[in-house]
Amino acid sequence: MSKEDEILEELKRIRQLLEPKPAPPPPPPPKGLMNEFKAFISQYRVMGMAVAFILGLYLGALVQALVNDLIMPIIQIATPGIKWELIELGPFRVGHFIGALITFIIVAFVIFILVKITKKWGIE
């Protein structure tokens, strides 16, 4: 076998390695209602979504408590004698909107900090 034949054979082996392999066929669908239900739960990660949803609700309640019970009283101390929640311009409750805006900014900042911390810990 000549040197050229060896090179040609080696190139053929390399080409075979580089060619995409066909994907394996998908597994057959489960039979029976319970097996289908189990497959649905695992495929769509329903339990993980439920846990995330429940934790999200309680995280929201925790952040609301932080804002309403700790931060807003500090703002009221910083603005003595002003009932800013009751400020109105015609039919518009501007003070209430400002309070909701402050709450939103604080909630968004707390969630931002939590996401940064969890990414630093390697949790995604």
Nearest by Cα to 29 from 20, 40, 18, 21: 40
The whole-number pLDDT of residue 55 equals: 83
Distance (Å, whole) CA 61 – CA 54: 11
Confidence of residue 37 (pLDDT cuts 50, 70, 90): confident
- pLDDT tens figures, 49-86: 888 888 888 888 887 888 778 887 887 888 788 777 78
Residue count (the chain): 124
Q: Is the pTM of this model over 0.75?
A: no
* Range 93-105 average pLDDT: 84
Q: Is residue 38 a contact partner of residue 30, using CB atoms and an 8 Å limit?
A: yes
- What average pLDDT is seen over the chain? 82
Segment holding 3, helix H or strand E: helix 3-18
Q: Which two tokens stand for residue 113?
A: 């900090």
Task: Enumerate domains of the chain plus CATH numbers.
Answer: 30-120 (1.10.1200)
Dig out the tokens for 17 from the structure.
């390695």
